Amino acid sequence: METADQTNVSPLAGLTEPRAISLERFLIRTRGGSATQSAWRLSVVSGEGHGAIVSVEASPEEKFFRGEGIFLGWAQDRMDAAYRALLPKSEEPAFETPQLG
């Protein structure tokens, strides 16, 4: 059972000043898969060392993550939250549809 303290813990807890150093797209093949897919690899550096989180969309409904280095052994939900927290923010303004009328 989760306590209130556990729900507010950052997915990056335990890492000292983590920051993304690159985000690259590359081709992968999964076990049992017959098709080549694309994945995103977010490389990260922190006081504890280097690592990466690989994000794979197996289907529109299924997404999974693979941790490397400092992220090795992390749970899927924690890697998902860490991946989203570390993604570089877009410098482009948000797209807005003008209201006509």
Which secondary structure element, helix H or strand E, spans residue 63, and what is its range?
strand 62-69
Residuewise pLDDT in 10s, the chain (101 residues):
444 455 678 999 999 999 999 999 988 887 777 788 889 999 999 999 999 999 998 778 889 999 999 999 999 999 999 999 999 887 666 566 666 65
For the entire predicted model, the pTM comes to 0.77
Domain boundaries, the chain: 15-86
Residue 94 is predicted with a pLDDT of 58
Residue 92 is predicted with a pLDDT of 61
For 86, residues 6+ apart whose C-beta sits below 8 A from its C-beta are: 12, 18, 19, 20, 42, 44, 53
